[in-house]
Amino acid sequence: MDNPFFEAWTAPFGAPPLDRIRPEHFAPAYARALAEHDAEIAAIAGNPAPPDFANTLAALEDSGRLLARVEAVFFNLSSAHTNEALQGIEMEMAPRLAAHWSAIYLNQALFARIAAVPAEGLDKESCKLLERYRLDFVRAGARLEGAARTRLDAITQRLATLATEFSQNVLAEEQDFLLPLSQDQLAGLPDFARDAAAETAKARGLDAPYAVTLARSSVEPFLQFADDRALREQLFKAWTRRGDNANAHDNNAVIAETLKLRAEKARLLGYGDFASYKLADSMAATPHRARELLDLLWKPAKTRAAIERDALQALVAEEGGNFKLAPWDWRYYAEKLRAKLYDFDEAELKPYLQLDGMIAAAFFVAGKLFDLSFTARPDIPVYHPDIGVWEVQRQGQAIGLFYGDYFARPEKQGGAWMSSLRDQESLHGPVLPLILNTCNFAKSDPALLSFDDARTLFHEFGHALHGLLSQVRYLRLSGTNVARDFVELPSQIYEHWLEVPEVLSRFARHYQTGEPMPQALLDKVLAARNFNQGFAMTELLASAIIDMDFHSEGDADADDPAARQAATLKRIGMPDEIAPRHAAAHFGHIFGGDGYSAGYYSYLWSAVLDADGFGAFKADPFDGTAAARLYENIYSSGGTRDFAQAYRDFRGRDPDIAALLEDRGLT
């Protein structure tokens, strides 16, 4: 078989031939890649020479190159351009890959060599790599023996299968749901939302003029504008019950087994619960410190949300509504209240937030802060025609490629994320990163964004910059390979530049006339930036607390995740009118993989850092000295530094939570 994975990639930058890679290429590619990696690991572990940095750590960095190439392409396709064939491969390979990596981390001879590598004479980055590898192996069970090692290996494989099953269930729920709509049912929706609904119906080949799906970019405008309360309720319940419908795609049993296995894994590794295990390798260090932050934010957020709720309920009564505000009403009446208080609504704002303009705005900020430039590269192969690719240069030198995959599609998982096809390193000379942003914006012509969509674009581009600007030697320390509660700092601080007046006045232009956003409207947008922040913080905090409770209570009530979630919401006094941002059954951050498990709090931990950190730019949003410190200590240093010290070196001190409370209007 002609297999692209077995060829030299000759596209510019050595980019993968995404237009030629097919599902049938993966089985032989994985087989060869795993065999090669096994042989490389065996050679390192069995090397008769005394262990040193070159023959052990550097050799590990050099191993698994084909596997990394295959994995990077497969992850991006299986998450953003999947099909039945890829899903079958994903389900088959999840436990095999978990077993492969488990065998490496539990390889006693290999760990003995890593433990014996002398640190004397190593530079700081090499010392950090040695420290990181030792910790990785210990946290993966390298010190376990006998039955405990065997059991941990089995748990690791089973958890990988469960995570894949969870994600595929959520995607199936989203693919199966489609709400056809007639003209009459669109009452209240502005033109941009109608156009997106028409595009959805057309793309799905539906015998109806309009439709909405369970993609957030489809659901939220409907909840925000649709006058039909019954339809809002129907859509909201379908959206919030993904994975919890007692059908073939129900995730409750998956969650229950996952929680039990994670708790058992933590005990095997010497921790009282899974949260303690996960946070031991984070800035927070302990669940107690993470909970302190969540508790500190919960009271002001809930107090603010109660004030907002009362204002919305008053508006319901003012309009003659004889009902108690429900979760499917909140966005609808909040939009009405915003229009009343600030004399503008989303429909007035959205024509100025064209996707191409917001991409240009994100590029402009990167140019001002970090001296970056972006040039379209239509010659780079992609897996879908909607994807754009840009060559990124810094100070006139190419530093990588940026791929943007922005539109929602049935074959794409929900949400937004940054990923890579290749990470930056310089072990044997410069290797330039290939970085992707994947979003789920509603497709229309032209594509118009909400302000939240534009913020998401800036957020994910902040992650992309973290990968693109990386300047480290070793892959293990490259780009976003940092503590989970530090990784959101580069993305969240970048969001602030969306609201800089110079950026909006330059790039927020009407899609028909090209006129800039009127100053009066810009002033209203900035004045309303903290509107509905009680709601936003409450739904986010609730999900973070649910996550922490799930992973801090061992096996208690694991068999009934819904009851466990309900108990948490009752304990914290969750307002009836607000739902958690992510309910357990579709909480992909924590159950669709191990990334944010016991770590969803990290968005709030990083929020403290980003709010305080942007204070360095209050006098001048493009201050060159502050930008240089931001680049050196946050964006380019990867995992080579102590993260608390990296922040101090950027800001000159530790962060102050007061900045977050002020930034979100919670003081």
Residue 556 confidence (pLDDT): 58
Tokens of 397: 């030198």
Other C-beta atoms within 10 Å of 409: how many? 16
Q: Name the pTM for this structure.
A: 0.95
> What are the tens digits of pLDDT across the range 419-428?
999 999 999 9
Percent of the chain with pLDDT over 70: 99
Residue 23 confidence (pLDDT): 97
pLDDT of 558 over the 80 cut: no
pLDDT of 244 over the 90 cut: yes
Q: CA distances (Å), 75 to each of 68, 93, 132, 301, 481, in order?
A: 10, 11, 24, 36, 17
> What are the tens digits of pLDDT across the range 335-353?
999 999 999 888 899 999 9
Residue 554 confidence (pLDDT): 61
Tokens of 76: 């991006």
153-168 average pLDDT score: 97
pLDDT of 1 over the 70 cut: no
69-97 average pLDDT score: 97
Q: Give the DSSP H or E segment for 25.
A: none
pLDDT of 44 over the 70 cut: yes
Please state, rounded to an integer, the average pLDDT across all residues of the chain: 96
Q: Which of 79, 71, 128 is nearest to 423 (CA)?
A: 71
pLDDT of 412 over the 70 cut: yes
Measured distance CA(231)–CA(336) in Å, rounded: 18
Tokens of 519: 């100053």
Measured distance CA(43)–CA(55) in Å, rounded: 10
Residues 616 and 295: beta-carbon distance below 8 Å: no
Residues 44 and 56: beta-carbon distance below 8 Å: yes
pLDDT of 442 over the 80 cut: yes
Selected catalytic residue, list 335, 460, 553, 577: 460
Per residue, the 3-state secondary structure of 373-393, as one string, reads: EEEECCCCCCCCCCCEEEEEE
Residues 333 and 432: beta-carbon distance below 8 Å: no
Peptide bond into 446 cis (omega under 30): yes
Q: What contacts 206, CB < 8 A, 6 or more positions away?
A: 178, 180, 200
Q: Which fold has domain 4-105+107-143?
A: Glutathione S-transferase Yfyf (Class Pi); Chain A, domain 2 (1.20.1050)
| Residue 351: alpha-carbon gap to chain centroid | 27
385-403 average pLDDT score: 97
Query: Going by DSSP bridges, is the β-strand pair 179-181/372-376 parallel, antiparallel, or unpaired?
Result: unpaired
Q: Which of 455, 501, 492 is nearest to 362 (CA)?
A: 455
Q: Which of 612, 634, 595 is nearest to 465 (CA)?
A: 634
Measured distance CA(36)–CA(26) in Å, rounded: 15
Tokens of 74: 């497969």
* Known active-site residue 264: no
Domain range list for the chain: 4-105+107-143, 177-240
Residue 557 confidence (pLDDT): 64
Which residue type occupies 94? A
Q: Please give the backbone phi and psi of residue 537, each rounded to the nearest 5 degrees, phi first.
A: -70, -35
Interior angle at CA 610, CA 609 and CA 614, nearest 5? 120
> Poorest-confidence range of 54-58, 103-107, 551-555, 562-566?
551-555
Q: Which of 164, 214, 62, 44 is nearest to 114 (CA)?
A: 44
C-alpha gyration radius of the chain: 25
Beta bridge partners of 84: none
pLDDT band of 207, cuts 50, 70, 90: confident
pLDDT of 555 over the 70 cut: no
| Residue 607: alpha-carbon gap to chain centroid | 14
Residues 293 and 659: beta-carbon distance below 8 Å: no
pLDDT band of 445, cuts 50, 70, 90: confident
Tokens of 415: 């949400």
141-169 average pLDDT score: 97
Task: Provide the Cα torsion 414, 417, 422, 426; round to 10°.
Answer: -170
Q: Which of 23, 81, 86 is nearest to 411 (CA)?
A: 81
Which residue type occupies 315? L
Measured distance CA(473)–CA(469) in Å, rounded: 13
Peptide bond into 23 cis (omega under 30): no
